[in-house]
Amino acid sequence: MEQLVLENISRHMKDKKVFRSGQHGFTKGKSCLTNLINFCNEMTGVADSKRAVGILYLYFRKAFNTVSHKTSTEKLMKHTMRWTENWLNVLAQKVVISGKNLLEPSNL
């Protein structure tokens, strides 16, 4: 019965194009590995074109079966906030229109 339900739901999702081509989880023929390969290819292209890349990639292998949700959430928030704070501390912004830097104090 479970297989029949799975097939019907999968067919419906495919027919209605619910998932984009980038969806890897719960997609036949795709996995965490195909997701990681696609991701690495995209980021390599971005880095090769000398554009900035910021990446936060999380892999929770059985995390939700072995650790309390509260502990996982607290640790995730702590480390994500620290990463974001570090990123913002070194962030430099510049908005230039017609050769004029709009973020200079004299232009604010």
Q: Which pLDDT tens digit goes with each residue over 41-89?
A: 988 898 899 888 777 767 666 656 676 778 878 887 887 787 777 777 7
Q: How far apart are CA 23 and CA 82, in angstroms?
A: 29
The pTM score is 0.41
Residue with the two structure tokens 């390969």? 37
**75 in the same domain as 46:** no
Please check the confidence at residue 101 and state whether its pLDDT lies above 70. Answer: yes
Helix (H, G, I), strand (E, B) or coil at 69: helix
93: pLDDT strictly greater than 70:
no
Is 14 in the same domain as 40? yes
Question: Is residue 1 located within the same domain as residue 44?
Answer: yes
Residue 35: how many other CB atoms lie within 10 Å: 16
Residue indicated by tokens 């999702």: 13
- 61 found inside a domain: no
The answer to whether residue 31 scores a pLDDT higher than 60 is: yes
Q: Which of 80, 30, 42 is nearest to 58 (CA)?
A: 80
Q: Are residues 11 and 49 located together in one domain of the fold?
A: yes
Residue 34 sits in the same domain as residue 82: no
CB count in 10 Å sphere of residue 80: 12
> How many domains in the chain?
2
